[in-house]
Amino acid sequence: MPGRFTAKLADSQVAPLVAAARAYATLTPDTYKKWARDHGISLNTTPGRQLRTDVETGDAMLMPWFKADEVHQQGGPGSFSAIQLRPAQPVVGKDGKPRKYDNLAGQGSVLGLHPATPYEWVRNAKVILLAEGLIKGDSALTGLLRAAGVSDTDLADDTVPDPRGKLRDLLNQVPERDRVLIVSILGVGN
């Protein structure tokens, strides 16, 4: 994920492999129209206008959410359940307050899991951690992997053809007693 948001994820201790497996992306004024078209979002709708507004100041980090009930299915999710954006500059809402994060209209709240979360982790979870936001959840997942002995070299390798599969394999190597199911929520108000 090139752009300013790579540094944001690194500062938040999200490993490159964890980020690649989630499919964070940078949308720019030059790329957002194609992305919207490819994902069935009309620019004439409220979500489309939000998308345009969020990238007008330069670019926005695309943060895909995956519903827990879809990730827990054998094989995991095929696509995201909801989209959150982090514009380069906060967008001022109708209430006059700046928003650092913007959820596309009409999606609802998501109890999210990382899409690489193995089925067994969901089914056999003994410990569950609730994290406020994707970045904190992915940071916790990175920390869990490091604590389990996964090397920084493995966690830095985001160039593999299937980062989600590689991350799932690494998660399956974590001993069951050390597994923590990390569930992300949009915010403390949710």
For 12-46, write each residue's pLDDT tens digit.
999 999 999 999 999 999 999 999 999 999 999 99
pLDDT of 161 reads 93
Average pLDDT score over residue span 49-57: 91
Q: Return all residues near 19 (Cβ < 8 A) that are at least 6 apart.
A: 1, 9, 138, 158
For 171-187, write each residue's pLDDT tens digit.
999 999 999 999 999 87
Token readout for 150 is 């996964």
| Percent of the chain surpassing pLDDT 70 | 92
Q: What backbone torsions phi and psi does residue 185 show, to the nearest 5 degrees?
A: -120, 155
DSSP H or E segment with residue 153: helix 152-156
Give the integer Cα–Cα distance in Å for 144 and 141: 5
How does DSSP assign 77-122, residue by residue?
A: -SS-SEEEEEESSPEE-TTS-EESSEEPTT-----B--TT--HHHH
pTM of the full predicted structure? 0.92
pLDDT of 70 reads 79
Mode of pairing for the β-strands spanning 128-132 and 181-185? parallel
